[in-house]
Amino acid sequence: MELFIDSADIEELRRCVAGGLVDGVTTNPSLVAKTGRPFHETVVAICELVGGPVSAEVTATDAAPMLEQARELAALHEHVVVKLPLTRDGLQTCRALADDGIKTNVTLCFSAVQGLLAAKAGATYVSPFIGRLDDIGQAGMDLIRDLRQVYDNYGFETKVLAASIRHTEHLLQAALAGADAATIPAGVFDKLLNHPLTDSGLERFLADWKKAGL
Ligand code: E4P
């Protein structure tokens, strides 16, 4: 499973990638806006920090300017994956980019039929938003399972990138459901390693070792 960090904060990302467990990064306009730094400069800095895919999202909504913006983003760095909204114009742009061999991440996917269209448009990744579906009382994880099945039924190569992950259990369930990738906030990443029995077990091993004086 590819593991991405959902952030545009360079310092936060630096801390997360240091352990060598992070495969890439996803950003969105809200996350970039929070940094207060210029968009392109931020994308390049993230790409240089992470040796893997970095999703950078277009903000144009009509197909022609969206394609132009997408090409500009793709030209910034070889690691850029162009993030496009799951709209008619977004999918039209996705097709054009796929035909040129440019990697894409179709975002804001809330149904399996939307995901089917993203795959038909040649998306490299599709991002189903688990947490935001849970927020409105729908089972977000069902969408991961449905997409897995639809893509497997037809041999689509589009990768299911579980997004809008709010806690470690979301990540586990997405992995069990066969998501190819997941993007998680830095706070969730920090919690993945922790288990109280690991801490108390290590404490006991070290105490016994010290007592033995070997
Ligand atoms: C994915 O690429 C999005 O940036 C992200 O996962 C959205 O998460 P949120 O619903 O917590 O904002």
CATH number, residue 195: 3.20.20.70
- What's the rounded mean pLDDT across residues 184-199? 95
What is the model's pLDDT at position 196? 94
pTM, two decimals, is 0.96
pLDDT at position 121 is 98
Q: Which class for 203: exposed (0-12), middle (13-18), buried (19 or more C-beta within 10 A)?
A: exposed
SS3 88: helix
| Interval between CA 205 and ligand 1 midpoint (Å) | 40
Complex-level ipTM beyond the 0.90 threshold: yes
Q: Give the pLDDT confidence score for residue 206 in this predicted structure.
A: 98
User: Tell me: the pLDDT tens digits for 151-167?
Assistant: 999 999 999 999 999 99
Query: Atom 7 of ligand 1 has which residue's CA nearest to it?
Result: 164
Q: Which two tokens stand for residue 116?
A: 């089917």
What does pLDDT average to over the chain? 97
User: Quick one: pLDDT at residue 150?
Assistant: 98
Angle between helices 63-76 and 39-49 (to 10 degrees): 40
**Total domains present in the chain:** 1
Distance 25 CA to ligand 1 centre (A): 12
Give the span between the Cα atoms of 8 and 17, in whole angstroms: 13
- Pocket probe for ligand 1: among 13, 28, 144, the residue whose CB has the most ligand atoms within 8 Å is 28
* Res 38: pLDDT: 97
Q: Which residues of 34-58 are buried (b: 16+ CB within 10 A; e: fewer)?
A: ebeeebeebbbbbbebbeebbbbbb
- State which residues form the domain around 168: 2-212
Q: Are 103 and 83 in contact (CB under 8 A)?
A: no
What is the pLDDT confidence band of residue 13, given thresholds at 50, 70 and 90?
A: very high
Residues 43, 27 contacting (CB under 8 angstroms): yes
Distance 100 CA to ligand 1 centre (A): 27
